Amino acid sequence: MPSTFFGLEIARRGLMAQRLAMDTAAHNLANANTEGYTRQEAVQAATPPYTIPTKEQTVVPGQLGTGVEVAAIRRIRDELLDVQLRRALGEAGFWEEREDALSRVEAIFPEPSEYGLQQLIGKFFNNWHELNNNPHDLGLKAAVRVAGEELTAAVRQTYRQLTDNEKNLRDLILEKVNEVNTIAEEINNLNREIRTLVRAGAQPNDLFDRRDVLLDRLARIGEVQVERQSDGVVKVSLFGKELVPPDPTAGAHTVTAYDAATGAGKFDHPDDELWLEFSSDPGNRVNITSAANTYSLSGALVGIEGARQKVKDYMQQLNDLADSLIAQVNQAHPYEENPPGTVIRADFFKGTGAENFDLSDLVKNDLNYIDGTRALTVAGLRDDLTMAGGTTTFEGFYRQLVTRIGEDMRGSAERTAGARAVRKQLENLRQAVSGVSVDEELTRLMQYQYAFQASARVVGVLDQLLDTLINRMAS
Amino acid sequence: MRISHNMIAGNLLRAVQTNLEGLIRSQERMSTGKKVNRPSDDPAAANHIMTLRASLDINRQYTRNIDDGLAWVYETDAALNDATGLLQKARELAVQGSNGTLTREDMAALARQVDGVIDGMTNVANHALGGKYIFAGTKTSTPPFVVDKDSKTVTYNGDTSAILREVAADFAVQVDAGGVVFGAAGQGNVPDGVFHTLFRLRDALDSGDHAAVGNLLGEIDQRIDELLVHRVKIGSRTNHLEALKAQLQDQEVRFTGVMSGLQDADIARVTIEFGQRQLAYQAALAAGARLLQTSLLDFLR
């Protein structure tokens, strides 16, 4: 026979368990909007039954239930979805950052419009035509000079904006590298706490959540592989190199951006390639630049580097345009001095590349150095196939550049939309498993509340029973 | 699928965002009237638009060059017409002078008229259009012909370069006739030409030699024929320039049409699109607002 107070114990366990379940529901409700929160469930299980130790075993059939307990507070999460989602995050990060960077570049080129570089190139050559119609008119020479100033200034300005963009992207890359290091350190710290708690037999659900949020952030920056160990620690690799070690005691590894192409210099120059060095494997750096160009790795870091390479390509095109304008116009523009027949070179443009593309000092200071008799030759350059190995005109070349920027941007935007759709789908799937539904929690809360009331009722009944037994029977 | 509250909110936010984005696109198209507002809207169309814009731009310049060139050829033709008229007058004087009944005084009077013709011809040879001398080659700023009636010398101060106007890609048309009209083969002394024929006529009249005057008639006719050859050349260039101009004007109309097709938004279509997107946007907002308000809490005591 169980003891007199056996029923009270069952009721007490019921009260405690329902109370705990209600607390868990309350925790879920409180965290309904917490980023990365995984809903938890108090898993209720019957406590081990009581077998009455008598000789006449058959008198009391079976075992006696002893009530309920909360066996575990379970975190409801699908780890397979995490792996999938992290991959999708990397893909989305790649295209989002790329689109973001390219849209800023596209804004530098106000095309198609009447205010772009093409219009200025046309205006420049048109003014030479006008000068040809009146080769000695100083007013028209002044117009040619003004058109030249406008053109050179616009090319310089565009180039400077591209340079600024490239610099920003480089800074952004370094920022991301820093972020990787910070995240790695935080994950490592969490690993340490989690290991202590897991070894003590606890299940630190909320710490797991915080770590998963960090892993998601890391996955957006670069390709990650996550290995979960039995002691609760996760080993994290980025781009195939170990970043967070399996043993958290020592601290996380660090990542540094290097320029391997110019001999292990820092990543601080437009021409630098981006190589990541991991302190876990310093000998084998990861070449992000080539991965960006071949789309072989995903992640925001690679996307930004890809956009940076594009910007550098556009800068190169602009340089080619400026160089060709300088060479061709200067070649077509000798200046005839007195006595007649003495041809001296009076360059119209000066500079190398787009950065310091400008009018020559002679032309800038004295209109008479503009050679009206050569106007037709200079004006004729407009139709000559001067660019890209003699395949296109100045304007055609610039148009190709603008078209390429448009194509790059459009391609990125389309891929971004695609990657976002995938991510959204997977996020929804994860939410379907792990997200908090307020209605559901409220229902559970009611369910537990009724169970609590029922257990309380049992206490009341037993109280009456014991009152009868103890107080009434004795009197 | 199990639905969580975050999903509802997240999906709503995304739907609203997507619809709003489309709405802004339509609105941009409506307000700018253009469907290609940046290269990425339609890179291929952007390229076409820019090509057409450049073509229109350079065609306008070619049109201006043609207008300028036409002024030259019209002016040159008028000057050559004057020169022909003067030579015809000289021929009349020669016919009169070859008449054996004229006295020496009559002949001298005719010679003075020939002097007048020479002056007139000098004016024609030094004719200027807007301050530029049209028979001077490219040395348009100085009068090209210095005619000395007494020493019977003609000096050419111009050059033999052609005045060119580019009127199509890599195609330039000469719009002047050059000093060669008046016999100038290069800078410096002109050995023989229209002026020398007139000098000879005047001298023959002055000397009272009827036969010599009569003999000059053939030479004058030849000079008139030579001028005609130049006029024909100028005339054919005039025709060419006028044809090119008509062609460019025609192109302008067609290019503008094509560009409008590529670039301009179809307002009716965009308006309908805008309406549809607005509806979708409002529907997303309304559905979201109702769904988010509803909770089990509303039904619990």
CB-CB neighbors (< 8 A) of B53 in chain A: 112, 114, 118-119
Dig out the tokens for A211 from the structure.
């770590």
The average confidence (pLDDT) of chain B is 90
The predicted structure's pLDDT at residue A341: 66
Using an 8 Å CB-CB cutoff, list chain B residues near A433: 2
Q: Average pLDDT, stretch B14-27?
A: 90
Q: Percent of chain B scored above 70 by pLDDT?
A: 100
In a domain, A56, yes or no: yes
- Contact predicate A9/A67, CB 8 Å: yes
Give mean pLDDT, residues B163-171: 88
Task: Tell me the CA distances in angstroms from B201 to A450, B90, B109, B214, B291, one per residue in order.
Answer: 137, 8, 13, 9, 111
For residues B249 and B274, membership in a common domain is answered with: no
Q: Does residue A459 lie within any of the structural domains?
A: yes
pLDDT given for residue A260 in this prediction: 72
Dihedral of CA B183/B189/B195/B196: which sign?
Answer: negative
Residues B109 and B233 in one domain: yes
Q: Is residue B14 part of a domain?
A: no
B153 found inside a domain: yes
**pLDDT tens digit string along B249-275?**
999 999 999 999 999 999 999 999 999
Inter-chain residue contact B4 with A133, CB threshold 8 Å = no
A58 falls within a domain:
yes
Q: Which domain holds residue A55?
A: 6-76+436-474
Asked if residue B204 is part of any domain, the answer here is: yes
The predicted pLDDT at position A474 comes to 64
Q: Are residues B248 and B143 in the same domain?
A: yes
Give yes or no: residues B60 and B147 share one domain. yes
Q: Facing residues of B168 across strands?
A: B171
pLDDT of A339 reads: 64
Task: Tell me how far apart the alpha carbons of residues A314 and A306 are, in angstroms, rounded to a whole number.
Answer: 13
Chain A positions in Cβ-Cβ contact with residue B60 (cut-off 8 Å): 126
| B53 near A CB under 8 A | yes
Which chain A residues have a beta carbon less than 8 Å from that of B4? 39, 431-432, 434-437
Contact A380 B10 (CB under 8 A): no
A31 in contact with B, Cβ within 8 Å: no
Q: B191 and B60, same structural domain?
A: yes
**pLDDT number for residue A64:** 84
- Say what the pTM is: 0.84
B216 and B112 in a common domain:
yes
Range list of β-strands (E), B149-237: 153-156, 164-168, 171-174, 188-189
Query: Cα Rg for chain A, rounded, in angstroms?
Result: 38
In a domain, B130, yes or no: yes
pLDDT of B88 > 70? The answer is yes
A-chain residues near B142 (CB < 8 A): none
B273 shares a domain with B217: no
Residue A363 in any domain: the answer is no
Same domain membership, residue B289 and residue B238: no
| B5 lies in some domain | no
Across chain A, which has 475 residues, the per-10-residue mean pLDDT values are 84 95 95 92 92 63 84 92 95 95 93 88 93 88 94 95 95 95 96 95 93 96 94 94 93 89 73 90 89 92 96 95 93 72 79 92 87 87 89 94 95 94 93 92 94 95 91 76
In a domain, B43, yes or no: no
Give the gap in angstroms from C-alpha B30 to the nearest C-alpha of chain A.
17
- In angstroms, the separation between the Cα of residue A411 and the nearest Cα of chain B is 9
Let me know if residue B56 belongs to a domain.
Answer: yes
Q: Which residue of A has its CA nearest to B32?
A: A113
Closest in A136, A434, A435 to B141, CB measured = A136
Q: How confident is the model at residue B190 (pLDDT cuts 50, 70, 90)?
A: confident
Contact A112 B4 (CB under 8 A): no
- What is the CATH number for B72? 1.20.1330.10
The total of structural domains in chain A comes to 1
Residues 95-124 of chain B whose Cβ lies under 8 A from any Cβ of chain A: none
Assess whether B58 and B120 both reside in one domain.
yes
In a domain, A50, yes or no: yes
> Average pLDDT of B13-26?
90
Position B30 in a domain: no
Q: What ipTM was assigned to the predicted interfaces of this complex?
A: 0.82
For residue B101, give its domain range: 52-257
Q: Do B205 and B274 fall within a single domain? A: no
Residues B148 and B283 in one domain: no
Residues B112 and B217 in one domain: yes
Count of structural domains, chain B: 2
